[in-house]
Each structure stands twice: as C-alpha cells, then as structure tokens.
Amino acid sequence: MFLIQNTLVSLDVLEKEFCCDLDICRGCCCIEGDAGAPLTAEEEAKIKEILPILLPEMTKEAKAVVEEQGIAYNDPSDERVTSIVNNKDCVFARTDHNGWCYCLIEKAYNAGKIDFKKPISCHLYPIRLTQVGEYIGLEYHRWDICHCARQKGKKLHLPLYQFLKEPLIRRFGEDWYNELELTATEWHKQCAQK
C-alpha cells in the first residue's frame, strides 16, 4: 500500500494492466453481479433529481423496480447501491439491438441533457473504494468477466491507474493524480533496479 494524501493505494493499482475491451465484453459489468453500483448520498440525491429525464428510456421492469423500492437499496453489507432488475441488471442499464449494454445516465450526460456522468463507483471500476479508518482505500477488484480487459491492458502495456486517469482525477483531483503518477514512476524504477 502507498499513502497518497488521505488515501491508501494498493500496489495492484500501480502494477496491474487493464483496458476495457467493449468489443468483447459489451459492457456486461452493468448487467452482471448480485448488487447494484455503490452510491454516495450526493449521487443518490442527484439521480433522484434527474430521474424524470431517465424514466422514458428505462425498461418496464426497471420502472417497476424503481416505483416499488426507489433508485437505491441497502445491499447485504449495508451499502447504498443502485436498484437492480432480476437480481443482476442495474435499473439504469439498457441493451441495444446488437447486445451492447450502455448506461442511461451516461447516455443522457453525453447528449448534454444532464451534468452528472455516472456514479463514481462505475467510472472507477475495477478500482473499489473502501473506508480504512481515516483513509480511503483504493483496491483492484478482479472479476472473471474482465478477462478481456486484462488481456488488452497487457497487450497495450497500460497500467490500471493510467487507464482510469479521468475518473481518478474526477474523484481525487489533479494534484493527487500527479502524486500517484510520481509514486508509480519511482516504484517502477526501484523494481527495475532489483
């Protein structure tokens, strides 16, 4: 672990190579799993605010879930997460006629309809944030469905922290990212000397 400002960054974040390969996975991380995407209280409030823009694009099943339980629920670890359909699909996920999964929140953002891109937990994936005492821990979450992303990352020699530069800056700021980059450079120099 590396201490960077108020965060503890796992070595995997600096060493693992990763690059989403949507041509292969087709965005299946939005429709696989057993819980929704973790949400902050601010994100939950923001999604409630933009819900009228999203509802017309949602599936009938997703609308029914939102009507019954709202946009979020507490998962087994008591964390607030987006509501899901059929115990796996995020209510804000849609699949197009080619089998590609996409996020309705991100689609609305890209169309200029809203000013919120998507939950930071989605944007940062496969990095997961956890509270470690007074620090925020950044851990790499390894999931079988991301095998193609690990292969593509290796082929491109693209470290995870570089692949996730935009969301890391969005969450922690430019100064924090520059410090992370410097830490990674120094770490790799030390490894090369051994």
pLDDT tens digit sequence for 10-56:
999 999 988 887 776 666 666 666 678 899 999 999 999 999 999 99
Q: Specify whether the CB–CB gap between 38 and 79 falls below 8 A.
A: yes
Query: 174-193 and 165-172 are packed helices; what angle lies between their axes, rounded to 10 degrees?
Result: 130
- In sequence order, the 6+-apart residues with CB closer than 8 A to the CB of 193 are none
pLDDT tens digit sequence for 57-92:
999 999 999 999 999 999 888 899 999 998 888 999
Q: What is the pLDDT of residue 49?
A: 96
Partner residues linked to 130 by β-bridges: 137
| Coil/strand/helix, residue 64 | helix
Question: What is the model's pTM?
Answer: 0.88
